Structure 1
Amino acid sequence: MIEHIVGLKFSEETTSEQKAEVKKMARTLKDEIPGIVSLAVGTNFSERNHGFEIGLTVRFENREALDVYGPHPKHLELVSYLKEVGLKDILVLDYEIE
């Protein structure tokens, strides 16, 4: 099983409505992309967030499913929207659950 963890940091111009749309779009990926076991997304409340506002975790069946996810049109649609609304930085961790 593969865990994919993402932290998203936005520009000051990014609105709360745009951030809500990011979360809404992310939630749909589980139903659209094969190989996703679970998906969770939410707003970071920790003061240790280093400016990362939204967290996303996606659990995949295996590495092959993660490989399908990256270039999938629905994932690319989300990535495009992130850039459009002012994504400032992204942190990604991928690891195999032991």
Structure 2
Amino acid sequence: MIAHVAVFTFGPEMTEERTEALAVELRAMALRIPSIKRYTAGPNLRMRPGGADFGVVAVLEDQAGIDAYLDSPDHVDLVTTSIAPFLVQRQAVQVELPDDWAPLWEG
């Protein structure tokens, strides 16, 4: 399994209402893409100073799953209409999730 993590910094035109709508749109999109196993998206909770404005975490099976997700017409359309017009910076990373990935402690 692979975790795809993307963070976005937006310009001032990205209002709180648009950010909330984006989270809803992304979660709905994820339900239509079979290669996505787990998914969440939302604004930065601002628990620490700095950081991006918005984040996405998608768990996918493999490289083919990532490609199917990122290249899907739903994803491309959503990025084009709801993210790109407001985007200042985007960063992403893909991290392997080992088969035995589990909590470090119980409780």
Q: Place the TM-score, normalised by the shorter chain, in its bin.
A: 0.7 to 0.9
C-alpha displacement at 1:48, in angstroms?
A: 3.5
C-alpha displacement at 1:19, in angstroms?
A: 1.0
Could you say which residue in structure 1 is the equivalent of 2:63? Answer: 63
Within 5 Å, give how 1:39-50 maps onto structure 2: 39-44=39-44, 45-50=46-51
Could you say which residue in structure 2 is the equivalent of 1:54? Answer: 54
Q: Which amino acid aligns with 2:47?
A: S
C-alpha displacement at 1:75, in angstroms?
A: 0.5
d(CA) in 1 for partners of 2:88, 2:13: 10
C-alpha displacement at 1:4, in angstroms?
A: 0.3
d(CA) in 1 for partners of 2:13, 2:93: 26
Q: Which amino acid aligns with 1:48?
A: P
Unaligned runs of 5+ in 2: 99-107
Q: Which amino acid aligns with 2:2?
A: I
Within 5 Å, give how 1:1-98 maps onto structure 2: 1-44=1-44, 45-50=46-51, 52-80=52-80, 81-84=82-85, 86-98=86-98
d(CA) in 2 for partners of 1:61, 1:78: 22
Identity over aligned residues, as a percent? Answer: 24
Unaligned runs of 5+ in 1: none
C-alpha displacement at 1:28, in angstroms?
A: 1.2
Q: Which amino acid aligns with 1:71?
A: D
Number of aligned pairs? 96
